[in-house]
Amino acid sequence: MPQNKILVIDNEPRIVDSLKALLSMEGYDVVGERSPSRALGLMENSKFDLIISDIRMPDIDGIEILKRAREKDPFVGVILITGYASLDSARLAVDKGAYGYLTKPLEIDELKLAVERSLEKRNAELEKIRLLSELKEANEKLQLKIAQMDALTSAGNLLATTTDPREALTSILSLAIDVIGAKLGSVMIIDPVKNDLFIGASCGLDKDVVQNTRMKIGSSISGYVAETGRPLIVEDIEKDPRFSRINREKYESKSLISVPLKYKDEIFGVINLNNKVNGLPFNEDDLVLLNSLAAPAAVAIDRANLIMDKTRTINDLTILHSLAEKVSMLDEPEKIGEETFDQLRELLGIKAIYWYDYLESSLEIHLEFSYGDIPEKHLPDNLRTFKLQRKSVTLGKSSSTDRVIENLSGLLKDYGSYFDNRFNVIPLPIFLKRTLAGVAILVFEPDLEFGPSRRELALLALTQTAAIYQRQKAVLNATQLVTMGKLLAEIGHDLKKPLTNLKGSNQIYKKKITADPAEEFFLEAEKEIDRLSELVKEMVDFSNPNMYQTKKIQIGDVIDKTLDLLKTDLKNKEIEVVKIYESRMPEISVNDREMLQVFINIILNAVDSMDRGGTLSIETNRIFDEGKNWASISFKDTGHGIPEDKLNEIFNRYYTTKKTGTGLGLAIVQRIVAVHNGRLSVLSEENKGTNFIVELPV
């Protein structure tokens, strides 16, 4: 325990020295002074627990000492001593607050007792004050906790009773301002598209400030908190090196507080308070409370975003359904394109659309139709046909959207020049069944925000329209094919007899006329007659309705039958066949005769590519892609391969690298696989081999 400090005042040196010595022996820190004026100076500059003073002294008496001491410290103990005791002086000493009144000569025990009692009383008073102060502080903290709980309860009730995010945020902000005691406040919400903050709710701010304020994430105090996700107290904005003081007239105080609105590890915005009512800086308790209120505010924003997303999704689906319903009733390409544009213009605000069809054989996109509000003028040739780079499209597989768009950079640049850069232009590659079907060029005003959600919706609408158009086109083609099939059957039947006669006559005259020019003529004529016969056979097969009747089979059985038919060819070329069949392959619905023809053509191509023997690996697998199951059959050879620049030509009719080939084999393969709703792809590398992959739906 620290020593109690006592000041002894008496104009008699003997008494001052005696009391100082006596009390020092009792363990007190004693200061003696004979001059009352100097004693008052000591009282002003030092703190004493007890003052012992003579009443009658020149210039300043003990009553004045008592008065001055109690003014400076209401709880200081004062004992007055006198050699001229009287009832009046004793009454006056008690009235002025003296603890003791002792007469000279002093009794030592009486003095000690008076000193002890006086110091005990002072200590008790000080302890009482300390306890009261602690109680007051505890009550203030309790009131703050109660206010915090009430505010959180109110915020929870707001979230339960209102679906309007602005109303909820304004109410939560008002709660924070009332409980913490601020004059200004705002809730700033992140705009993910523009990567900035805007004011979603405010209290005490001008309407113009609310409407016109936008802050980039990372700049300003709110941007700093939104970027870091950490709450922030600024005690003096003028002295904080991270921020510069702005809008000085709005910020009466130099202190402000900012807390991120965070929910599920996502930051939605920031809540700010400025200008504390009492003029003091914001403190940690304010930060805790505001942080507590930030949580329900973030929940309100998250719920609003969820409702907005669901509403937008419902609206988008409604529009897509309406578009599909309208388009499915149309059969003219122009009307389908026009209806699609009208819907996208209403939905997304686009100004024009240019649709390009994709021709896989030439890797070109050709302008099919265009609609829009832009004044029509003659499109230059460079905007009507555009050639893609070969690497942008892989046969039978969906190209990377980014790679296709990268290929279109030149076309987009030309469109910018065509429109004098008055509009923005974006391309949307459209894929159907993993294959590029076309490209839509959308044109819109520069100030229109065409974000990811708008892009996705436009892509869905255009893909849906393209699928409907292709399906309707297929139905129309099917109708035409039925009519054509009947005609082909009749023509094929009529052509068989004259072709047979020609072939027979050609063989007879070839034996009779042996001159060199004639021999060459007969060989060429026989070749052309065989080619015509093959064409007639294909025409007849194509027109035969039984060709496309299917039944469920094990695809491995068809492969084995094919290998059995071609075993002589395989043996003669010394080709080893490796079969890797999936043990649990399901049955699939195919026309077994047609599929046999597919496998024969593919295997014969493999045989022809391996002049000096090799390996043919045939593997079956079950795969899941595009939401359904497929039976995958792979034919991989070790032949001479196909040059990259020829890969997109091998399925063309009459294309062949063989001296005796017709160029129809792979074209027939592609047609049969397509009729079965299957997919055909090829991977090849020169001098290493080729892999044909047939995928049929299970």
Do 288 and 335 fall within a single domain? no
Domain annotation covers residue 572: yes
| pLDDT at residue 394 in the model | 47
pLDDT < 70: residue spans in the chain: 1-2, 144-165, 238-253, 304, 308, 312, 331-334, 360-361, 375-377, 390-400, 472-490, 492-497, 499, 501, 514-515, 519, 527, 530-531, 534-548, 626, 648-649, 651-665
Q: 577 - beta bridge partners?
A: 616
Domain end (from 246, 269, 304): 304
Do 553 and 681 fall within a single domain? yes
Give me the CATH number covering residue 408: 3.30.450.40
Do 177 and 278 fall within a single domain? yes
User: Could you tell me the residue range of the domain that residue 87 belongs to?
Assistant: 5-129
Amino acid, res. 486: K
Do 184 and 292 fall within a single domain? yes
Domain annotation covers residue 521: no
Do 291 and 340 fall within a single domain? no
Task: Give the Cα separation of 679 and 539 in Å (integer).
Answer: 23
Question: C-alpha distances in angstroms, 15 versus 19, 23, 34, 83, 636?
Answer: 6, 12, 9, 12, 123
Do 281 and 352 fall within a single domain? no
Domain end (from 450, 467, 492): 450
Do 623 and 658 fall within a single domain? yes
Do 166 and 247 fall within a single domain? yes
Domain annotation covers residue 137: no
How many independent structural domains does the chain possess?
A: 4
Do 178 and 271 fall within a single domain? yes
Domain annotation covers residue 154: no
Domain annotation covers residue 498: no
Task: Give the Cα separation of 446 and 368 in Å (integer).
Answer: 25
Q: For residue 182, give the nearest of 293, 79, 56, 262 by alpha carbon.
A: 293
Domain end (from 104, 129, 154): 129
Q: For residue 221, give the nearest of 258, 260, 265, 264 by alpha carbon.
A: 258
Do 204 and 297 fall within a single domain? yes
* Tokens describing residue 400: 């990377």
Do 344 and 434 fall within a single domain? yes
Q: CB neighbours of 497 closer than 8 A, spacing ≥ 6?
A: none
Domain annotation covers residue 145: no
Task: Give the Cα separation of 641 and 650 in Å (integer).
Answer: 12
Do 298 and 412 fall within a single domain? no
Work out the angle at residue 659's Cα, subtended by the Cα atoms of residues 656 and 664, and round it to the nearest 5 degrees: 35
Q: What is the pTM of this model?
A: 0.40
Give me the CATH number covering residue 679: 3.30.565.10
| pLDDT at residue 618 in the model | 94
Task: Give the Cα separation of 324 and 469 in Å (integer).
Answer: 10
Domain annotation covers residue 472: no
Domain annotation covers residue 428: yes
Q: Based on DSSP, count helices (H) and strands (E) in the chain, helices before strands.
A: 18, 23
Task: Give the Cα separation of 342 and 331 in Å (integer).
Answer: 17
* Tokens describing residue 578: 């490796």
Give me the CATH number covering residue 32: 3.40.50.2300
Sign of CA dihedral 291, 294, 296, 298: negative
